[in-house]
Amino acid sequence: MVSQLDQLKAFTTVVADTGDFKQLAQFAPQDATTNPSLILKAVQKADYAPLLAESVAVHKGEPLDVIVDHTLVRFGQEILKVIPGRVSTEVDARLSFDTEATLARARRIIGLYEAAGTDRQRVLIKVAATWEGIQAARVLEQEGIRCNLTLLFSFAQAQACGDAGVQLISPFVGRIYDWYKKSAGSTWDEAANAGLNDPGVKSVANIYAHYKQHGIRTEVMGASFRNVGQILALAGCDLLTISPDLLAQLQASDGAVARQLVPVDDVKPALAPLSEAAFRYALNEDAMATEKLAEGIRAFAVDAGKLDGLIEAQR
């Protein structure tokens, strides 16, 4: 039996979306992604409590944000022992509107990885796709620090990321789906908005097509899935980052998987770069993207604060 997971791997780089590195081996993903919520969830498990305690003990007396970064990097190192590819480690979401602070934090995280013997090519720095975050990523990429732009909901965000030459973007399929379903209320037709018609799937497919048509090298990694159908509808996307629960469902099924996204042969000239004003206006015009970006930053900031609290309690 060839599982759907193995079939998907023929078209797409499969990425595990988790901080629980002890779950990874069974799915054999190429890369892994983390975020503040996933790390917070992991450190509250008994299996990972000693790792958190050790990180705090070794760096006791250092500033809280430094201990946090050591903890994030420690998780990343453990993940890299299990996967052959890259791990994404996120800059504090509370810095999402501060380019200089984002740069400083990203450089420190990479420095910690390198001090521990990890090649920077195996690390992606996750940054929220605000204007300020995208400009920080532009500078980081020029310094050889590869970036994963997250909390991405709109075409304007994707275009600006391509303009900045970032390594990878993570459009959030499930959260886009959530917004449209909630907005439609009782008129939502699940069957009519499934698969290729899912609004989150259509958003990613549109971005993928734009990048390929204009020769933009930025990788597209669909993220934040609610069901297997959304994943299979994006088979062929450069990468897909998938939670352990959905990876398990794909591994348990042998249904046929067909490629849906295919690169184009004819490359068109690049579009004119978005100015800051054009970016902000386009984002403002997209109610879904504006709301979900703000909501996502707030949620990650809350979980970053909770992680701070766990560490503070052990200092």
Residue 13's DSSP bridge partners are 239
Catalytic option among 9, 126, 212, 292: 126
Between CA 198 and CA 208, with CA 202 as vertex, the angle to 5 degrees is 145
Tokens for 243? Answer: 């939670």
Cβ burial of 7 (10 Å; 0-12, 13-18, 19+) is buried
Q: Side chain identity at 140, as an amino acid letter?
A: L
Residue 33's DSSP bridge partners are 17, 88
Tokens for 129? Answer: 């796709």
Tokens for 265? Answer: 């042969």
> Rounded to 5, what percent of the chain is helix, strand, coil?
55, 10, 30
Cβ atoms of 153 and 292 closer than 8 Å: yes
268 assigned to active site: no
| Residues that are catalytic | 126
